[in-house]
Chains A and B, each alone.
Chain A
Amino acid sequence: MTYPVPIIYDGDPGHDDAIAMLLAKASDNIDVLAVTTCCGNQTIEKTTYNAQRVCTLIGLDVPIGMGQARPLLAQPMTAPNIHGQSGLDGPRLPEPEVGLSSLRAVALMAKTLQEAERPVTIVSTGPLTNTAALLLTHPELKAKIERISLMGGGIAHGNWTPAAEFNILVDPEAADIVFSSGIPIVMAGLDVTEQALIYEEDFDRIRALGGEIARVVAEWLDYFYQFHRSIGYIGAPLHDPCAVAYLIAPELFEFQDYYVRIDTHGEFTRGATVADINRQTGIAPNARCLTGIDRQGFVDLLAESVRRLSHG
Chain B
Amino acid sequence: MDKHFVWLDCDTGTDDAAAILCANKLPQLQIVGISAVAGNVELEKTYYNVHRLNRLMGTSYPVYRGAEKPLQRDLETGYRYHGENGLGGVELPLPEKIPETNEPAWDALYRTAVEMKGELELIATGPLSNIGTALLLHPDLPEYLKRIVIMGGSSKGGNRTPAAEYNIYADPHAAQMVFDCGVPLTMCGLDVTLQAVLMEEDLEQIGALGTPAAKFFHKELLVPLRTQECGTGLKLHDVCAVLYAARPELFSGRPAGVQVETRSELSIGKTVTDLYSDKKFGFQNAFVVLSLDRAAFKKTVYDLIAQY
Contact between chains at B270 and A278 (CB < 8 Å): no
Contact between chains at A266 and B266 (CB < 8 Å): yes
Contact between chains at A268 and B272 (CB < 8 Å): yes
* Chain A CB within 8 A of B281 CB: yes
Q: Which of B160, B161, B276 contacts A156 (CB 8 A)?
A: B276
* Given A157-B276, A162-B274: A280 in contact with B267 (beta carbons within 8 A): no
* Chain A CB within 8 A of B163 CB: yes
* Chain B CB within 8 A of A46 CB: no
Contact between chains at A277 and B156 (CB < 8 Å): yes
Q: Which of A161, A267, A276 contacts B157 (CB 8 A)?
A: A276
* Given A159-B277, A162-B272, A259-B162: A277 in contact with B157 (beta carbons within 8 A): yes
Q: Which of A159, A232, A266, A278 contacts B162 (CB 8 A)?
A: A278
Q: With CB as the reference atom, state the residue of chain A lying closest to B155.
A: A156
Contact between chains at B159 and A266 (CB < 8 Å): no
Q: Which of B264, B274, B281 contacts A265 (CB 8 A)?
A: B264
* Chain A CB within 8 A of B97 CB: no
Q: With CB as the reference atom, state the residue of chain A lying closest to B270.
A: A269
Contacts of A266 in B (CB 8 A): 261, 263-264, 266-267, 270
* Chain B CB within 8 A of A270 CB: yes
Per-residue CB contact flags for chain B residues 249-273 toward chain A (1 = under 8 Å, else 0) read 0000000010111111111001011
* Chain A CB within 8 A of B299 CB: no
Contacts of A199 in B (CB 8 A): none
Would you give the shortest CB distance from B21 to chain A, in whole angstroms?
A: 27
Per-residue CB contact flags for chain A residues 243-275 toward chain B (1 = under 8 Å, else 0) read 000000000000000010101111111101011
Contact between chains at A261 and B266 (CB < 8 Å): yes
* Chain B CB within 8 A of A163 CB: yes
Interface residues of A in 129-154 (CB under 8 A from B): 154
Per-residue CB contact flags for chain B residues 227-253 toward chain A (1 = under 8 Å, else 0) read 001100000000000000000000000
* Chain A CB within 8 A of B74 CB: no
* Given A162-B279, A263-B267, A274-B267: A280 in contact with B159 (beta carbons within 8 A): yes
* Chain A CB within 8 A of B280 CB: yes
* Chain A CB within 8 A of B278 CB: yes
* Chain A CB within 8 A of B75 CB: no
Contacts of A156 in B (CB 8 A): 155-157, 276
Contacts of A232 in B (CB 8 A): 278
Task: Determine the main DSSP class of A at the interface with B.
Answer: loop
Contact between chains at A275 and B157 (CB < 8 Å): yes
Q: How big is the B interface, by class?
A: 20 to 34
Contacts of B280 in A (CB 8 A): 162
Q: Which of B158, B263, B275, B281 contacts A278 (CB 8 A)?
A: B158
Q: With CB as the reference atom, state the residue of chain A lying closest to B266.
A: A263
Contacts of B274 in A (CB 8 A): 162
Q: Which of B161, B265, B273 contacts A162 (CB 8 A)?
A: B273
The number of chain A residues with a CB under 8 A from chain B is 30
Contacts of B264 in A (CB 8 A): 263-267, 269-270
Contact between chains at B267 and A272 (CB < 8 Å): yes
A160 to B276, CA, bound (A): 11
Contacts of B163 in A (CB 8 A): 263, 269, 272, 274
A272 to B163, CA, bound (A): 10
* Chain B CB within 8 A of A155 CB: yes
A267 to B281, CA, bound (A): 13
A163 to B230, CA, bound (A): 22
Contact between chains at A161 and B160 (CB < 8 Å): no
Residue from the set A158, A162, A280 with the largest chain B CB neighbour count within 10 Å: A162
Q: With CB as the reference atom, state the residue of chain A lying closest to B161.
A: A280
Contacts of B278 in A (CB 8 A): 159-160, 231-232
Contacts of A157 in B (CB 8 A): 275-277
Contacts of A268 in B (CB 8 A): 259-261, 267, 270, 272
A266 to B266, CA, bound (A): 8
* Chain B CB within 8 A of A281 CB: yes
Q: With CB as the reference atom, state the residue of chain A lying closest to B280.
A: A162
Contact between chains at B277 and A265 (CB < 8 Å): no
Residues of B within 8 A of A (CB): 155-163, 229-230, 257, 259-267, 270, 272-281
Please name 28 pairs of A and B residues whose Cβ atoms are closer than 8 Å in the assembled complex, sorted by A. A154-B276, A155-B156, A156-B156, A160-B278, A162-B257, A163-B270, A163-B277, A259-B162, A261-B162, A263-B264, A264-B266, A265-B263, A265-B264, A265-B265, A266-B264, A266-B267, A268-B260, A268-B261, A269-B261, A269-B264, A269-B267, A269-B270, A275-B157, A276-B157, A276-B162, A278-B158, A280-B159, A281-B161
For the complex of A and B, the 6 pairs showing the least CB-CB separation, nearest first, are A266-B264, A157-B276, A269-B267, A162-B274, A277-B157, A276-B162
